[in-house]
Amino acid sequence: MGCIPPKNGFLQQLRALCDAHNILLVFDEVMTGFRLAQGGAQELYNVKADIVCFGKVIGGGLPVGAFAARNEIMNHLAPVYQAGTLSGNPLAMAAGLEMLQQLNNDLEVYNRLKDKTDYLHKGIKGVLEANGIVHQINQVGSMISLHFTTEEVVDFKSAGAGDNPQFKKFFHGMLAEGVYLAPSAYETCFLCNALSYRDLGATIAACEAIL
C-alpha cells in the first residue's frame, strides 16, 4: 500500500496492549530493518518488539530471511532448528555481514539518505503543485511513495482510492525518460546512497518533462 507512516502513538499503544494481555508483539522489518536506522523501525519509533522478521537486507540484497527474538523466546526452538536451501548460505551471509559492518562504520549514512529523499520529495512535490496535479507524498527516512489523491493515505483503503490509472501513466512516462520507479502505487520507492544529487535532479527534471 506504499509508504504508510504509523500514526502518532499507534505502535506504542500496540506495545501497551500486548503487555497488558501477555501477548508477543511481532514486527515485520523486511522493508524497514537496517534501512530507516541501525535498529530499524524499533529504533526510529522507540518501540521494542518481541519477535522481528528480516529479509534480504541481512544478505546484502541476496535471497535470505531470518527472525530474531529474546533468548527466552528463541530457546524454545532448540533443539528444533529451522532449515532450508538458503539457510546460512555462505554467499548471502558474507554479503550481509559486509553490508552490516559498513553500516556500523558509517551511521551518518542514514542522515545522508534522509536528506537525499527530502530533496527528491521537495522537488517532485514542487513540480506536481506547479502543474496543478492532485497528489499525496508519504515519506519515512529513505522510503517514499506517491499517490494521486486528495485524501491523506493512511491505510490500504485510502491507498486504493487514489487514481491508479494516472499512476500507470506517470510510471510509463518516467520510464520513457530513463527513470525506473516502483511500478505500482501500492509499492514504496527506496533510495540508496549510490544515488547522487545529480541523479535526483535528473529524476525531478524527468517528472517536469512528462507532466
Q: What is the pLDDT of residues 131-141, one digit of tens each?
A: 999 999 999 99
Phi, psi angles (nearest 5°) of residue 69: -165, 175
Beta bridge partners of residue 7, listed in sequence order: none
Exposure of 185 by Cβ count < 10 A (0-12 exposed, 13-18 middle, 19+ buried)?
Answer: buried
| pLDDT-based confidence at residue 11 (cuts at 50, 70, 90) | very high
What is the rounded distance in angstroms from the CA atom of residue 168 to the CA atom of residue 52? Answer: 34
Question: Could you tell me what percent of the chain has a pLDDT over 70?
Answer: 98
Read off the pTM.
0.90
CB atoms within 10 A of CB 139: 20
pLDDT at 86: 74
What is the rounded distance in angstroms from the CA atom of residue 173 to the CA atom of residue 201? Answer: 16
Strands 51-54 and 26-28: parallel
* pLDDT of 77 over the 70 cut: yes
Beta bridge partners of residue 53, listed in sequence order: 28, 67
Please answer whether residues 159 and 2 qualify as being in contact, where contact means their C-beta atoms are separated by less than 8 angstroms: yes
Domains of the chain (ranges; CATH) run 10-104 (3.40.640.10), 109-210 (3.90.1150.10)
pLDDT at 83: 73
H, E, C per residue of 17-52: HHHHCCCCCEEECCCCCCCCCCCHHHHHHCCCCCEE
pLDDT at 80: 66
H, E, C per residue of 135-186: CEEEEECCEEEEECCCCCCCCHHHHHCCCHHHHHHHHHHHHHCCCCCCCCCC
